[in-house]
Amino acid sequence: MAEIKILKNIMDENLSQAAKNRQWFRSRKILVLNLIASPGAGKTTFLEQTIKGLTPNFKLAAIEGDITGDHDAKRIEALGVPVVQINTEGGCHLDAHMIDSVLSSLDLSGLNFLFIENVGNLVCPAEFDLGEDLKVVVLSTPEGHDKPAKYPLIFSEAQAVIINKIDLLQAVDFDLIIAERDIRRLNPNVPIFRLSCKTGEGLDKWLQWLETQGTDNG
Amino acid sequence: MHELAITQSLFKIVLEQAQKAGATKVTRINLKIGRLTGYVPEAVEMNFNLLASGTMAEGAGLKIEWAPVKVHCRDCQKESERQDLGLGCAHCGSLNVRIAGGREMYIESMEVDNG
């Protein structure tokens, strides 16, 4: 019997593909967002509002990740934005190879922003680097203010946190102070945007911030 | 499902390294896994047994050494170990910390027979 020293990161394969994706995006000055949220948090509506707010000043594209179906992709396509659907067929997250495999089917020339809508899940998507610039977590008020404390990894990894559906604050038991305190404990300097995709409240601040990120990138 | 992706990666590395070392059988795989990873041992073992069936890694045991969550304080520059997130620096209480440990997912070594 012999012992072989290996010291290899199990995630190496994903990480090296993510690094290739990142280099590829950076060389083309495309700012890439990885949108992560629970099912029903309002990711797709948030993406629609973001796309509407950025067009026509920027050129955009989207990758929609879902277990099955193309419901979300159709909604994004209706806004005139090139979109490609990835179905994970049961998988709970997108990985870097999946992103690489669809890049050739998107027109990315002159693109400013690429939005990747991950599978609805706060756990596994946190583990898989896609080569994005910004991980953006969308938390909605009906989910409860305990989510940052219960799913710490994704909140500690995020470059921006959206608290969506603030129009429902009167109707649900969501304490903004507790939610934001826990987010800050995990990630002290992360920008937090309170907004409602339904009423439009707070969207302007998010869009301003995002445009600044895009301008810095280019 | 998350575990399946991890296990496929793990299995691939194990087979590659075993072949490189000229091994005939893999008996044990020693892993170092961080407490923050959400790694579920039973799920990985189940997937591994399926993938390894009929290969030289069939029946190999997966031994896990758990790595604790560690934070590095940007204010007092000290490191502390924590049982759960949200506690800040154990030395000065500052929340201005970065995660310095707990996300590991390494194959440290494996034990093999050389025929």
Task: Give me chain A's average pLDDT, please.
Answer: 93
Nearest to B106 among A9, A91, A93 (CB): A9
Cross-chain residue pair B109–A186, CB shorter than 8 Å: no
How many residues appear in chain A?
A: 218
CB within 8 Å of A176: residues ≥ 6 apart: A145, A163, A166, A169, A194
Distance of CA B83 to the CA centre of its chain: 18
Classify A114 as helix, strand or coil: strand
pLDDT in tens, A122-142: 988 888 999 999 999 999 999
Domain ranges of chain B: 2-67+102-113
At residue B87, the pLDDT reads 55
For residue B10, which residues of chain A lie inside 8 Å, CB to CB? 10
| Interface check A92 vs B, CB under 8 A | yes
Count, in order, helices (H) and strands (E) of chain B.
2, 6
Kindly report the CATH number assigned to the domain that includes residue A7.
3.40.50.300
Residue A141 near residue A174 (C-beta atoms within 8 A): yes
ipTM over 0.95: no
Worst-scoring range by mean pLDDT, A97-101, B48-52, B97-101?
A: B97-101
For residue A120, which residues of chain B lie inside 8 Å, CB to CB? none
Residue numbers of the domain that contains A139: 2-217
Task: Quote the minimal CA–CA distance from A106 to chain B in Å.
Answer: 26
Would the pTM of this model clear 0.90, i.e. be above it? no
Whether the pLDDT of residue B83 is over 80: the answer is no
A32: left (phi over 0), alpha (psi -120 to 50) or beta: beta
Phi (first) and psi of residue B21, to 5 degrees: -85, 0
What is the number of structural domains in chain A?
1
B2-67+102-113 belongs to which CATH class? Answer: alpha beta
Tokens of A127: 């583990």
